[in-house]
A = this chain, B = another copy of it.
Amino acid sequence: MKKILLQLDCDSLPSVFDAVTAYDAGADIVLQYGNITKENVRDLVYGVMFTRGGDNLKFSAIFIGGSKVIEAAEILEIVKSTFFGNVRNSVMFDPSGCNTTAAAAVAKMTKECDVKGQKVVVLAGTGPVGQRAAAMFAMEGAKVFVTSRKLEKAKRSAEEIKAMFGLEANACAAFDDESTKEALDGAVAALCTGAPGVTLIGEELWKGHPTLRVLGDVNAVPPLGVEGMKSSFNGEVVEGKVLFGSMGIGGLKMRVHRACVAKLFEKNDIVYDAKSILEMAKELS
């Protein structure tokens, strides 16, 4: 029986990236759907729920991707609420690669540095990757801070993290060297999840920092988020700090993405979201 992945995407053209990755993960067929809305998704889900019975349900799975993370999260809730009893299919949620990217960064960083009870800062932690990374650090027991240039925005992000994952995040503003220095005070780990081409941590801030042990940066477009970082860094030690750049993180991200898609077809009741994708990343890192 063919392994069929239903690709649900809120963009008008469903992601090529997600489809190719699904095939490389072992899906036999990807049914690509764009323009997914809260109104039209339920009938599509019925199409995988009611075509293959019993143990064969596991050969159909659902991937929720695309670039619109907030809309996609609503779709995930509807998909889960459409299932009943044993009539369900495994689902993976990774729009904009938010979960796999965050999980790869957090798995790599926490492997180098036990964050339990420690302060961790996610800089510009207001987007999908940053919020999920913050939640994942919290899952690992860290005292998490998200920053934004405006305190108000950081606070809103922390509230959203609380609402989405039920986990505490603290907020602080970081808009220049001084405020960033304060934000990093006492932290053991810092991850930059800001816009491409924007530096968030100057070199003099992290080199010789008394407590920082590991830095990550998902920004792939120079200048990078951490000054002095290289995209290719994958655990390189500079001035006593362990560094992970976007390509170092990206390699694990791709392996996590593929491994999760492959696993979807082993059971019919898996939900790969932040927590379970982090588990996969830790296993593979």
Of the stretches A20-28, A80-88, A188-196, the one at the interface is A20-28
Question: A221 on the interface (CB 8 Å rule)?
Answer: no
Chain B residue at smallest Cβ distance from A60: B20
Instruction: Give Cα distance in the complex from A67 to B40, angstroms.
Output: 13
Q: Is the CB of A13 within 8 A of B40?
A: yes
Interface residues of A in 1-52 (CB under 8 A from B): 1-2, 4, 6, 12-13, 15-21, 23-24, 29-33, 35, 40, 43-48, 50-52
Instruction: Give Cα distance in the complex from A43 to B19, angstroms.
Output: 13
Contact of A13 among B2, B44, B48 (CB under 8 A): B44
Q: Is the CB of A20 within 8 A of B4?
A: yes
Instruction: Give Cα distance in the complex from A46 to B20, angstroms.
Output: 11
Counting contact residues on chain A (CB < 8 A from B), the size range is 20 to 34
Q: A35-B12, A44-B13 are in contact. Are A51 and B2 (CB under 8 A)?
A: no
When distances are taken between beta carbons in the complex, the residues of chain B under 8 Å from A21 are: 51
Shortest A63–chain B CB gap in Å is: 13
When distances are taken between beta carbons in the complex, the residues of chain B under 8 Å from A43 are: 13, 15-16, 67
In the complex this chain forms, how many copies of it are found? 3
When distances are taken between beta carbons in the complex, the residues of chain B under 8 Å from A4 are: 20, 23
Of the candidates A20, A29, A60, the one having the most CB atoms from chain B within 10 angstroms of its own CB is A20
Q: Is the CB of B35 within 8 A of A32?
A: no
Q: Is the CB of B13 within 8 A of A35?
A: yes
When distances are taken between beta carbons in the complex, the residues of chain B under 8 Å from A23 are: 2, 4, 29
Q: Is the CB of B13 within 8 A of A51?
A: no
Q: Is the CB of B19 within 8 A of A31?
A: yes
Q: Is the CB of A51 within 8 A of B12?
A: no
Q: Is the CB of A47 within 8 A of B12?
A: no
Q: Is the CB of A48 within 8 A of B35?
A: no
Instruction: Give Cα distance in the complex from A2 to B50, angstroms.
Output: 26
Q: Which 9 A-B pairs have the closest CB atoms?
A: A16-B47, A17-B47, A20-B51, A16-B44, A2-B23, A21-B51, A19-B31, A17-B51, A4-B20
